[in-house]
Structure 1
Amino acid sequence: MRALMIQGAGSNVGKSLLVAGLCRAARLRGLKVAPFKPQNMSNNAAVTADGGEIGRAQALQALACGIEPHTDMNPILLKPESEMGSQVIVQGRRLTTVRAREYSALKPKLMAPVLESFNRLKSAVDLVIVEGAGSPAEVNLRPRDIANMGFARAANVPVVLAGDIDRGGVIAQIVGTQVVIDPADAAMIEGFVINKFRGDPRLFDDGYAFIAERTKWRGFGVLPFFAEAARLPAEDALDLPRGGGTGGFRVAALQFSRIANFDDLDPLSQEPGVSLTMVRQGETIPGDTDLVILPGSKSTRGDLDFLRAQGWDIDLAAHVRRGGHVLGICGGYQMLGRTISDPDGIEGPAGETDGLGLLKVDTVMTADKRLTRTEATHAASGAPIRGYEIHIGHTSGEARGRPFAHVAGEAEGAVSADGRVMGSYLHGMFSGDSFRQAFLKQLGAAPSATSYAAGVEDTLDRLAAHLEAHLDVDGLLAVAR
């Protein structure tokens, strides 16, 4: 029962992808392996088999391991609701909502569930591969740290430090980390990896040797940039591409300021007959769009204000007048209705906001959070849908009489009288090939026979092979204790 931790010399250095690749490589070697991240911050969450939620990256890493996602894989999940505050999820369940300064005081109480989950997970597998958060060089956060060296030392887990050469300054990233962290923390680091190299890796031989000589840490290799990572679900909204595909059916998705569960869009971006455009702040919805998607949001009323500030409400009204289609998913579904009420101030200041009025439904926010995997039947085509629900709020109104889908014989979602505006709480619907094909065909697109799930599995295998070809994977796994 061993463990190894990958920490980053900065944020967004590729830790999640490295852990996923190592998980798949270990699995292919016959090891029973599981991922773990003590603390994650993301609005892109997955519903687990035990009825909780974890970061999407840990769900992907679990897939790389060939096991079901479990709340123990990410015991602390922070879901930002504003610039200043986040919802705190502990072992899959909402504990509270706090401001950043308040969370610092809360952290010492969270080490116990972190270690509890880690030890429970470790006892069930041969190997746990742990992902850090941010960087241990953020020494201002060290006194109450549960995400990097605070955890590594409490759990006695050896660390490998990853640096991102693509953004430049990787020598300073890694050497500087050793300089600023506590010597006892530095002693936990067994070596380093250089990630995201473009071009001939031999060109970095001198820099690699300099890092090894200056730090006395072991180098485990230089990993070339893995372009196929774009085929895997992204966790950070900053990683969202501007679009994908060159097909004739044009989809535009609105990139809200608090966009959540945006991996709903990944299967569409990989459809050969579809071109997907992410519409960002300050941009307009293209006039030739066939389908506009309003994705999930962690702050529905706040992002509705954001939508209007961009003028997207005007664009949407024009799109519908031209005969275009609209799909709202979760928070996007709530926005399409007449009103969104939050009498108890669950997502922000208490009050009511007028919706877009494109669906005759109304939503009331409640403290109860629905977390469930869901099997449904698409009302228009009869195609099966396998997805999940992760939302607060109850939606009602006459448009519910025209459901988007049926769940155990009950209506789910809503559709406008002309069938052009649709809303649903079902995340992950497009991952199912049969539903995606039926939905696109219904809207006049020419879907392919592409298997999204098979493509993800193949990419994970390719990622593992990529790591095996360029890193000392034997050495990395041997470091685990």
Structure 2
Amino acid sequence: MTKAIMIQGAGSNVGKSMLVAGIARALTQRGYTVAPFKPQNMSNNAAVTSDGGEIGRAQALQARACGLKPHTDMNPVLLKPESDVGAQVVVHGKRVATMKARDYGKMKSTLMPAVLQSFQRLAANVDFIIIEGAGSPAEINLRHGDIANMGFAEAANVPVILIGDIDRGGVIAQIVGTHTVLPPQDRDRIKAFAVNKFRGDVSLFSDGAKAIVDHTGWTDLGTIPWFSEAHKLPAEDIMDIASSGTGHIKIAVPRLSRIANFDDLDPLASEPNVTIEIVEAGHPLPADATLILLPGTKSTIADLAYLRAQGWDIDIMSHVRRGGHVLGICGGYQMLGTWIDDLDGLEGIAGRHAGLGLLDVTTEMTDDKRLAEITATDTATGTTFNAYEIHIGQTNGPDCEQAWLEVEGRLEGAQSASKRIKGCYLHGLFASDAFRHGYLAQFGLTDRLDDFEYDIDKTLDALAMHMESHIDINQLIALAGDV
């Protein structure tokens, strides 16, 4: 029988995704075949899967920890926020609707059969499934029709481990409070707890852990110290991206309100000669930036308006006049053009919207969404690399005739006559050491990281060792249920 256990959090961002990745790698190293699973995720940081769909980036990292290719069954429902009140709903890797939160609340219970189908397909092919919850089961106002936490755990009949975050403070209240508010049937499904992100001497929390056991009766699975290498792994939560590095090549990145697929920054941040400066709302783009990088976004037109509201368009124009470089990826590429035509109102109000005018191209928003893993070539250097596309819209115009990339026989991207302004639809291009080094060479890259992908796997191994050292993996295996 396949075994399964679910990791839920006493709050959001307690470290569930990373714990699942670490436990999955530890079990894989023990000889189990393991798969990750998250019934419902909310993230604009998505990965293209081997079966031509999309899932949350965290599940793609977890699949990597298991030695598997990402598959849509690992995250059957993905919500991609497009506004403060609405999100794109992706089921089995494909967009099915854009809905307001209230409407999705009525719909979500109908998705349980699709979620269970994915779970059962995974279970048929592995020894162990590590399931990640979303948010917290303590949000009892969301319990009716729930597919993300206890609703799924009940439907699939899997036991739960609850994770608290001591770095935020109040971890005893987090865990004991969850025990208090849960209805008895959900409370009984939790078999153990663990405390994450401890800084300092773990033994100092022994009395705290005992207090939790005394109040809840749950098994103490362990107290997990802060994992100092976490920054080397792709982050899924937008709140986890931050400025980094002290290198002389400064890349300024405006934090757009709907920033998406921001793990494009991770390989750049890993370089010893590079500084990534995430610029927050209300702050100007730095005048000493080497490169301004406009990242992907879930809502190009809305984020273009947001960019202008911060005055960043003025900063970009000043940067260009000083001879600076600009790179736009996906939504950022669309912003660099002269026009964005959204005649069907796919991103809001129908009409023609003025872009930044730095590239002589026009983007037409279409209902078709391109999801593809691809092999591309840098036409200037002949460097070949793997990347992926995940976007709506088609971009054309005179500057596309100066395309700087080739994708499987077709030209991709656009650049200005000066070659200082570039844009493309490709995500993941900087994960290629050869491409990244070639691109940064124009800015005087010297010392460099020579194997970004190997560094991720090495960090996953370190994370697995961290899990083995600080939580009782044998007890976790014993607590897992048969499915």
TM-score (normalizing by structure 2): 0.98
Asked if 1:316 corresponds to 2:306, the answer is: no
TM-superposed deviation, 1:265: 0.4
CA deviation map 1:245-278 (0-9, x unaligned): 1111111111100000000000000101111111
Once residues 375 and 254 of structure 2 are traced to their aligned partners in structure 1, the CA distance between those partners, rounded to angstroms, is: 26
Asked if 1:118 corresponds to 2:115, the answer is: no
Once residues 57 and 337 of structure 1 are traced to their aligned partners in structure 2, the CA distance between those partners, rounded to angstroms, is: 31
**Number of equivalences:** 480
**1:143 aligned counterpart, secondary structure:** coil
For 1:238-249, list aligned pairs within 5 A.
Answer: 238-241=239-242, 243-249=243-249
Structure 1 counterpart of 2:271: 271
For 1:197-216, list aligned pairs within 5 A.
Answer: 197-216=198-217
What letter matches 1:114 in structure 2? V
Bigger mean CA offset, 111-120 vs 271-280: 271-280
Once residues 101 and 38 of structure 1 are traced to their aligned partners in structure 2, the CA distance between those partners, rounded to angstroms, is: 19
**2:474 aligned counterpart, secondary structure:** helix
Checking the alignment, whether the CA contact within 8 Å between 2:272 and 2:449 is kept in structure 1 is no
Asked if 1:6 corresponds to 2:7, the answer is: yes
Structure 2 counterpart of 1:406: 406
Once residues 134 and 389 of structure 1 are traced to their aligned partners in structure 2, the CA distance between those partners, rounded to angstroms, is: 28
Once residues 296 and 449 of structure 2 are traced to their aligned partners in structure 1, the CA distance between those partners, rounded to angstroms, is: 27
Checking the alignment, whether the CA contact within 8 Å between 2:295 and 2:328 is kept in structure 1 is yes
TM-superposed deviation, 1:449: 4.2
Once residues 48 and 456 of structure 2 are traced to their aligned partners in structure 1, the CA distance between those partners, rounded to angstroms, is: 18
For 1:392-403, list aligned pairs within 5 A.
Answer: 392-403=392-403
Once residues 379 and 425 of structure 1 are traced to their aligned partners in structure 2, the CA distance between those partners, rounded to angstroms, is: 15
Asked if 1:280 corresponds to 2:280, the answer is: yes
CA deviation map 1:191-233 (0-9, x unaligned): 1000000111111111100100110000000000112101100
Checking the alignment, whether the CA contact within 8 Å between 2:159 and 2:189 is kept in structure 1 is yes
Checking the alignment, whether the CA contact within 8 Å between 1:295 and 1:329 is kept in structure 2 is yes
Unaligned runs of 5+ in 2: none
Checking the alignment, whether the CA contact within 8 Å between 2:12 and 2:135 is kept in structure 1 is yes
CA deviation map 1:8-32 (0-9, x unaligned): 0011100001100000000000100
Structure 1 counterpart of 2:391: 391
TM-superposed deviation, 1:385: 2.4
Checking the alignment, whether the CA contact within 8 Å between 1:162 and 1:194 is kept in structure 2 is yes
Asked if 1:420 corresponds to 2:420, the answer is: yes
Asked if 1:166 corresponds to 2:171, the answer is: no
Checking the alignment, whether the CA contact within 8 Å between 1:34 and 1:127 is kept in structure 2 is yes
Structure 1 counterpart of 2:474: 474
For 1:409-448, list aligned pairs within 5 A.
Answer: 409-446=409-446, 448=448
Asked if 1:326 corresponds to 2:301, the answer is: no
Checking the alignment, whether the CA contact within 8 Å between 1:437 and 1:447 is kept in structure 2 is no
TM-superposed deviation, 1:445: 2.6
Structure 1 counterpart of 2:92: 91
TM-superposed deviation, 1:443: 3.5
CA deviation map 1:385-428 (0-9, x unaligned): 21100000010000000002011221100010010000000000
What letter matches 2:109 in structure 1? P
Once residues 288 and 58 of structure 2 are traced to their aligned partners in structure 1, the CA distance between those partners, rounded to angstroms, is: 34
**1:227 aligned counterpart, secondary structure:** coil
CA deviation map 1:373-396 (0-9, x unaligned): 011101222211211000000100
For 1:331-370, list aligned pairs within 5 A.
Answer: 331-370=331-370
Checking the alignment, whether the CA contact within 8 Å between 2:271 and 2:449 is kept in structure 1 is no
In structure 2, do the counterparts of structure 1 residues 191 and 449 end up closer, same or farther at CA, with 3 Å as the change threshold?
Answer: closer
Checking the alignment, whether the CA contact within 8 Å between 2:270 and 2:449 is kept in structure 1 is no
What letter matches 1:93 in structure 2? K
In structure 2, do the counterparts of structure 1 residues 339 and 418 end up closer, same or farther at CA, with 3 Å as the change threshold?
Answer: same
Structure 1 counterpart of 2:181: 180
TM-superposed deviation, 1:349: 1.9
**1:308 aligned counterpart, secondary structure:** helix
Structure 2 counterpart of 1:458: 458
**2:367 aligned counterpart, secondary structure:** strand
CA deviation map 1:176-203 (0-9, x unaligned): 1111111001111011000000111111
Once residues 460 and 278 of structure 2 are traced to their aligned partners in structure 1, the CA distance between those partners, rounded to angstroms, is: 25
TM-superposed deviation, 1:240: 0.7
Structure 1 counterpart of 2:158: 157
Checking the alignment, whether the CA contact within 8 Å between 1:228 and 1:459 is kept in structure 2 is yes
Once residues 217 and 51 of structure 2 are traced to their aligned partners in structure 1, the CA distance between those partners, rounded to angstroms, is: 44
**1:288 aligned counterpart, secondary structure:** coil
What letter matches 2:262 in structure 1? F
Runs of 4+ in 1 over 4 A off after TM superposition: none
Structure 2 counterpart of 1:232: 233
Q: How much is the aligned-residue C-alpha RMSD, in angstroms?
A: 0.8
**1:327 aligned counterpart, secondary structure:** strand
TM-score (normalizing by structure 1): 0.99
**1:460 aligned counterpart, secondary structure:** helix
What letter matches 2:371 in structure 1? L
**1:77 aligned counterpart, secondary structure:** strand
Checking the alignment, whether the CA contact within 8 Å between 1:440 and 1:446 is kept in structure 2 is no
Structure 2 counterpart of 1:138: 139
For 1:6-25, list aligned pairs within 5 A.
Answer: 6-25=7-26
**1:12 aligned counterpart, secondary structure:** coil
Bigger mean CA offset, 379-388 vs 209-218: 379-388
**1:235 aligned counterpart, secondary structure:** coil
What letter matches 1:336 in structure 2? L
Asked if 1:191 corresponds to 2:192, the answer is: yes
Checking the alignment, whether the CA contact within 8 Å between 2:374 and 2:408 is kept in structure 1 is no
Structure 2 counterpart of 1:29: 30
Checking the alignment, whether the CA contact within 8 Å between 2:5 and 2:129 is kept in structure 1 is yes
CA deviation map 1:119-141 (0-9, x unaligned): 00011100000000000000000
CA deviation map 1:64-90 (0-9, x unaligned): 000000000000000000001000000
